[in-house]
Structure 1
């Protein structure tokens, strides 16, 4: 299984880039890990550098994937358009998958019609609970509410780009975890028959976080509640062996900041100590890349190796291990409790028997 994981990490023929045209944002979310970063916009020199960086992979890759991120990437829509035009005319790799992570507030029909011509495959937008809860969490910098406009914009995406997958994410924390079941059912009814998927994602602690993050027990109880009380069977956390990888553990995957610096993890963007190079000089920090790809996963962790769920569990976040490297205090790596997994498997067994 370790061999298959390494093969997946090092054997790809696709260059995957997460590009942030700006780190500026129109929201002031209380859990944002990008607070206090420079708000500059990507310049033409970096755009040209990105094309050169892409073309440097022409001998070992045969396709290109791009995901726009921020900040709020739509604040840099002109840069997105400029880069897409350059990629179409100057890139040696064909763009085969195209996605964007946006808060959804700035979406317009004009933008969607443009993205439709560029074969946008995937849009991720966040809804953090019911309207009142969401408006306390996904806050505009001017203090305004965002819920109603985002919901209407998701409706617009399904109408203008019906073939584009819309993923609605809920950032789960102590303040909104009890609302997910309700909004999940409401949204499934609202977008029934549409290409929309909904999923929860737990807020990770960071130095800027102002919400109470869920403990492993909280996370376990969250999924048990979805199954026992809400009778939601389509979302689960049954352990499955996964040989896939994130950008941090894939050889040909990079995050590009507006200033052209390269990172392996989305959460590292703007932290120069975590940079692995830049689009002008290429990759220069192979030591950090090695730590991410082979030195910080479950196969190098004695705590994981001795666990009863090894190797089915994915082992948690590699970046989380790096953040806690060398600390004397035992850090909470596991997303769930072993006892909770056993309870959940029993609930799953009962639902299968009932079927």
Structure 2
């Protein structure tokens, strides 16, 4: 037996926090047990006592014949090629009521899916993915709520064409401006259970960035809509972060807490980057991974202390990127198919249409044959189960520096995980969080 290559030791004054990046297990070891653990780092483990048995049971010790990196790749492949679950992203429109300065879709024509294209899209989805046990449809845009009636029509068509043994689920990515009571009712009728809403920090930076065509502020309206919707639809708030708003994020947490939403919504930060690699947004000041990691750590500490639901290791599940999964597709308003959200509207990235898909096209197959972590340094990297070698699209396009923020703030996140666990125990025991 041997120690897992994915064990990570976070030093503490009175011992260590032992974290496994593969299974996200966390153990607090006092000074005595920390010393015993250090002894294990020097050689093989021939037998198990109470201490090593506990480590083995929790994945911190593994059998000698296990190659953990290869095991992760196998798990990744199994999930990606598992045809029992399919995920389809549909953009009923590329039009949007906002003009965000960093939007990678800014150059796309504002197209809306016709009734004819909707019927063709529904046929494609049912024929190609109807054999799955679960079909997840994600409504995307543009701003999908500009086409609420088309969402309702597509939902009816897709549901009607699916066999009864295929479970239908749905989610939506929206700017939240049109997430009205009527919209929520329609979405619930359409099986939408989760919504991701973007808010760019506190009120002032948000209103300077998330700009509607009429130029009016949007922050308060979006927060009000979230408060009205949260009992019917699960809400996760995404905060896009760059150098222009990174210093003014806690105000958002304070406002959400003021509205008694802290324990009701999820929240996470996303690093604004040049999605298509063309530096098309010269006014946007990007943060590098190291700078973003500092912002992320400080923000999540504030969020946890206020009682927010924070996924510290969001996106680390094997096969989390739907673009590299067999049972996935992105459909734009004209019925064009691609694998990655960021490539929607790029004709040179399409693998056909809903009427004539070309699954053998390089624009599809290159995603399906992608293997994460093929840079040699990933094979023995303790961070690999948390980042999976970075974004598949960036890797396929030849980017070399793929290391993300987790490389720089894992110590902080382990501390925050321990804090989160302690607060959860206090709450469960009836104490004050």
Q: Could you say which residue in structure 2 is the equivalent of 1:214?
A: 287
**Is the alpha carbon distance of 1:40 and 1:343 closer, same or farther for their aligned partners in structure 2, counting shifts above 3 Å?**
closer
Trace 1:106-255 onto structure 2 (pairs within 5 A).
Answer: 106-158=178-230, 162-192=231-261, 195-206=264-275, 207=278, 208-209=280-281, 210-226=283-299, 232=305, 235=310, 237=312, 242-255=317-330
Which residue, 78, 81, 93 being the options, matches 1:7?
78
**Is the alpha carbon distance of 1:303 and 1:285 closer, same or farther for their aligned partners in structure 2, counting shifts above 3 Å?**
farther
Given that 2:250 and 2:302 are in contact with CA atoms closer than 8 Å, whether structure 1 keeps it comes out as: no
Deviation at 1:163, TM superposition (A): 3.5
CA distance in 2, matches of 1:227, 1:86: 41
Trace 1:90-105 onto structure 2 (pairs within 5 A).
Answer: 90-92=161-163, 94-105=166-177
Q: Does 1:316 align with 2:316?
A: no
Tell me the secondary structure at the aligned position of residue 128 of structure 2: coil
Q: Could you say which residue in structure 1 is the equivalent of 2:133?
A: 62
Unaligned runs of 5+ in 2: 1-71, 427-433
Q: Does 1:335 align with 2:404?
A: yes
The TM-score, its normalising length taken from structure 1, stands at 0.86
RMSD: 2.9
CA distance in 2, matches of 1:352, 1:45: 51
**Is the alpha carbon distance of 1:345 and 1:112 closer, same or farther for their aligned partners in structure 2, counting shifts above 3 Å?**
closer
Of 22-31 and 224-233, the range deviating more from structure 2: 224-233
**Deviations, residues 72-95 of structure 1 (Å, cap 9, x unaligned):** 111122211221222233334645
**Is the alpha carbon distance of 1:199 and 1:51 closer, same or farther for their aligned partners in structure 2, counting shifts above 3 Å?**
same
**Is the alpha carbon distance of 1:39 and 1:228 closer, same or farther for their aligned partners in structure 2, counting shifts above 3 Å?**
closer
Given that 2:202 and 2:250 are in contact with CA atoms closer than 8 Å, whether structure 1 keeps it comes out as: no
Of 132-141 and 205-214, the range deviating more from structure 2: 205-214
**Is the alpha carbon distance of 1:71 and 1:349 closer, same or farther for their aligned partners in structure 2, counting shifts above 3 Å?**
closer
**Deviations, residues 301-343 of structure 1 (Å, cap 9, x unaligned):** 22423534334532211111123x2xxxx64311127454346
Tell me the secondary structure at the aligned position of residue 410 of structure 2: helix
Deviation at 1:205, TM superposition (A): 1.5
Deviation at 1:173, TM superposition (A): 1.0
**Is the alpha carbon distance of 1:39 and 1:241 closer, same or farther for their aligned partners in structure 2, counting shifts above 3 Å?**
closer
**Is the alpha carbon distance of 1:78 and 1:271 closer, same or farther for their aligned partners in structure 2, counting shifts above 3 Å?**
same
**Is the alpha carbon distance of 1:133 and 1:193 closer, same or farther for their aligned partners in structure 2, counting shifts above 3 Å?**
closer
Deviation at 1:241, TM superposition (A): 5.9
Given that 2:98 and 2:211 are in contact with CA atoms closer than 8 Å, whether structure 1 keeps it comes out as: yes
CA distance in 1, matches of 2:416, 2:133: 45
Tell me the secondary structure at the aligned position of residue 57 of structure 1: helix
Bigger-Rg structure (1/2): 2
**Is the alpha carbon distance of 1:8 and 1:188 closer, same or farther for their aligned partners in structure 2, counting shifts above 3 Å?**
farther
Tell me the secondary structure at the aligned position of residue 153 of structure 1: helix
Which residue, 325, 339, 342 being the options, matches 1:264?
339
CA distance in 1, matches of 2:150, 2:419: 52
Higher relative contact order (CA closer than 8 Å, sequence separation 6+) = 1
Of 56-65 and 121-130, the range deviating more from structure 2: 56-65
The TM-score, its normalising length taken from structure 2, stands at 0.72
Unaligned runs of 5+ in 1: none
**Is the alpha carbon distance of 1:353 and 1:91 closer, same or farther for their aligned partners in structure 2, counting shifts above 3 Å?**
closer
**Deviations, residues 95-140 of structure 1 (Å, cap 9, x unaligned):** 5211111111123222222223233201111111111110111011
Q: Does 1:280 align with 2:355?
A: yes
Deviation at 1:41, TM superposition (A): 1.0
- Between the two proteins, the alignment pairs up a number of residues equal to 346
CA distance in 2, matches of 1:291, 1:192: 42
Which residue, 88, 91, 109 being the options, matches 1:38?
109
Tell me the secondary structure at the aligned position of residue 249 of structure 2: helix
**Deviations, residues 37-72 of structure 1 (Å, cap 9, x unaligned):** 121211122112112212323674233211111001
CA distance in 2, matches of 1:239, 1:68: 20
Deviation at 1:192, TM superposition (A): 3.7
Given that 1:16 and 1:253 are in contact with CA atoms closer than 8 Å, whether structure 2 keeps it comes out as: yes
